A and B are shown apart, each in its own frame.
Chain A
Amino acid sequence: MSGKIKNRRLKQVLGLWTTAVIILALGLPMVAHPSHWGELPLIPGLEQRARIIFFHVPTAWLSVIAFLTSMWFGIRYLRKKSPDDDIKSVTHAGLGLLFCILATVTGSIWAKFNWGSFWNWDPRETSIFVLLLIYGAYFALRSAIDVEEKRATLSAVYSIIAGVIAPFFIFILPRITAGLHPGSADDVNSGPVVSSGGMNASMRVIFYSSVAAFIGMYLWMSNLRIRATRLVQAQELESRKQ
């Protein structure tokens, strides 16, 4: 099979896979005592609102993956000084910010129906807000420096510092402090839904399929962005020569 056809097939599989995940995540009934694979469990304190887990949690996880990938390419840039690593680092940081915004927006809509308000300054909300500020500052820093090499070096250092902090804000801080979010230190209802055993096998399969679909989308988007940036840079280089 040629590379072009294989590439197209992969994208078609991703499209069908994600469509199936959406239909299963929102279409399967939630019941108190699931008796077969086509039923999802009702999680105490969350009920039907638990369906957000299929979209909100993968976006939050993916933002951390993207920030760590950005950090990885930042380290590579500092070692090899290759402009391509800078393109990859900034692309992954951008996608991390995008997924972080998606997690914030979906979480905020869910909070309105679960806690009565779009924003409650819960530790989880506060930590994601700080993370948005950190990566907003990353792009402000990049736009403030005109010299390409200096910009790449400084943002690589920044991406390393921010990448070290990101998992702390997503996975650690909200779990050791008391708050409204499921999985907070004082949560007596549902606990951290993914790891506490609140999900049955069907829910787990759909959840991890959703994570896989989001990763597929993320890889596709990063590939498009990196290729587009390379084209723009090649064009700029060409126009400078002329």
Chain B
Amino acid sequence: MYDFLTENALYVVLLIVLVIWFGIYTYLYKLEGKLKHLEELSKKQGDPS
């Protein structure tokens, strides 16, 4: 296992960076959805008609 990680260190780093990136992207994407929902809710409250 140690040898595998040493020989493929760059690919391990690549995998970790990709996991972090997907995490950030998913978080922002979900945040965007929630924000849009709140904006629509706020618009409805401000304009009852």
Contact = CB atoms under 8 A, between A and B. Distances in A.
Interface of A: 11, 15, 18-19, 22-23, 26-27, 48, 217, 220-221, 224, 227-228, 231, 234-235, 238
30 contacts: A11-B29, A11-B32, A15-B25, A18-B21, A18-B25, A19-B21, A22-B14, A22-B18, A22-B21, A26-B10, A26-B11, A26-B13, A26-B14, A26-B17, A27-B10, A27-B14, A48-B10, A220-B28, A221-B28, A224-B28, A224-B32, A224-B35, A227-B35, A227-B39, A228-B35, A231-B38, A231-B39, A234-B42, A235-B42, A238-B45
A220 B25 CA distance: 11
B31 interface: yes
> Would you call the interface of chain A mostly helix, strand, loop, or mixed?
helix
Nearest to B28: A220
Contacts of A238: 45
A18 B35 CA distance: 23
Contacts of A48: 10
B17 A224 contact: no
B16 to A, nearest CB: 10
Contacts, number: 40
Contacts of A234: 42
A127 B21 CA distance: 28
A23 B21 CA distance: 11
B31 A224 contact: yes
A99 B10 CA distance: 24
B10 A231 contact: no
Interface string B32-48: 10010011001001000
B32 to A, nearest CB: 6
